[in-house]
Chain A
Amino acid sequence: MVLGIFVGLLLLVGLVFNCLGVASMYRFPDVYTRMHGATKCTTFGTLFTIFGLLLYSFVRFIAVEGESRFMVLFIHVFIAGVVLMISNPTGAHALARAAHRSKTLPEPALVDVLEEKERHKGGIAA
C-alpha cells in the first residue's frame, strides 16, 4: 500500500515533467529553445518514471524471497536509464548541430558567436 503510494507519486512527477516537455513545443519560439523543453524535460520525467520502477522492483524483490524476475526487471530498467542518459543528449546535440549547419539560426537571439565565426570563415567549412 505504502509502496503503491510512493511509486504512484514518482510516476505522477514523471508524467508532469513529460507534459511540460510537450507544452514547451507550443510555448517556445524557435527550434533550439523547443529542443530544450522537448528533449530534456522529457529526460527528467522519464528518469522519475524509471526511479519509480526501480523502487517497485527492488522492494518486491526484497519482499518476495527467491523471485529473481523482479531483479531482472530492476537490471533491465537500470540499463535503459543509463542508455537514455547517454543517447538523449547525443541525439539533441546532433539535431542542434544539423539545424545550425543548415542555416536555421536561433530567432530571437541575444548573441550568436557560432554564426559570427562561420561568417568570418566565409560560409560553412566542414
Chain B
Amino acid sequence: MFVFVVSFCTYLLLSWSGKLSVQEVTIAFSLAAVISFVTSSSSRSGFWSMRGLSPFRWWNFVRYVFGPFAVGLAQANLDVAKRLITGDINPGIVKFNPRLKTDMGRMMLANSITLTPGTLTVDIDDDGVFYIHVLSLRSENPSEEDICGPFGQWARRILE
C-alpha cells in the first residue's frame, strides 16, 4: 500500500500543471497498481499492509530529516571542508552493530551515514553489522556515537 500511495502521488505531482484531468488520475492509478503489484513480492509485510503509511512514523521522519539529520549534515560538511584544506586525515574502515532488524531501517541508517560526509557505508553483512569507512578516526574501536551520532537511535525509533 505504501508503494502504491507513493507512486500514485509522485505521478500526479510530476504531471500536474495547474489543473487535474480524469485521464491523468486514471493513468496514475493504473501505473501505481502495476508498480505496487510488481514490487509486492519483495516486500515482507504484504500488499495491504498499512505500516508504512502511519502518520506518526512520517511525522517522526520529517522531524528527523529537518532536526538531527540536517544539523549532522551541516556539521560534517564543514568538518570535511576544513580537513580538505588542512589535509589532516586519518582514514580507516571500522565496524559497528546498530542492532536493526528490518531492511528499511538498515537502508535508512546506511543512507544517512553515507550522505553525511566523513563516513561512508562500505558493506553490511547478513547479521546487520555495518562496515564504515571513516575519514578521521580517533581510535581503532569507536562507539556508535562517534560514527553516526544520534542517527542509530532515530532509525530504531522510526522504523522498528
Q: CB-defined interface of A99-126 with B at 8 Å, one 1/0 digit per residue?
A: 0100000101111111101000000000
Q: How many A residues touch the partner, as a band?
A: 35 or more
B140: A residues at CB distance < 8 A: 110-111
User: Interface size (B, Cβ < 8 Å)?
Assistant: 38
Query: Are B94 and A36 within 8 A (Cβ)?
Result: no
Is B84 a contact of A100 with CB atoms below 8 Å? no
| B118 contacts across to A, CB distance below 8 A | 36
Q: A28-B89, A112-B92, A115-B93 are in contact. Are A72 and B16 (CB under 8 A)?
A: yes
Q: Chain A residues with Cβ under 8 A from B87's Cβ?
A: 27
Chain A, interface SS category:
helix
Complex Cα–Cα for A33 and B88 (A): 12
Q: Please, which residues of chain A bring their CB within 8 A of the CB of B77?
A: 17, 40-41, 44
CB within 8 A of A100: which of B74, B80, B122, B135? B122
Residues of chain A within 8 A (CB-CB) of B36 are: none
Asked if B7 is at the interface of the complex by the 8 Å CB criterion, the answer is no
Q: How far is the CB of A113 from chain B (nearest CB, A)?
A: 5
Q: Which residue of A lies closest to B113 (CB)?
A: A89
CB pair B80 A40 closer than 8 Å = yes
Q: Is the CB of A114 within 8 A of B80?
A: no
Return 20 A-B CB contacts under 8 Å, by A number: A23-B84, A28-B84, A30-B91, A32-B122, A32-B133, A41-B84, A44-B73, A68-B18, A72-B18, A79-B10, A93-B110, A93-B120, A97-B123, A106-B92, A108-B91, A110-B90, A110-B91, A113-B131, A115-B93, A117-B95
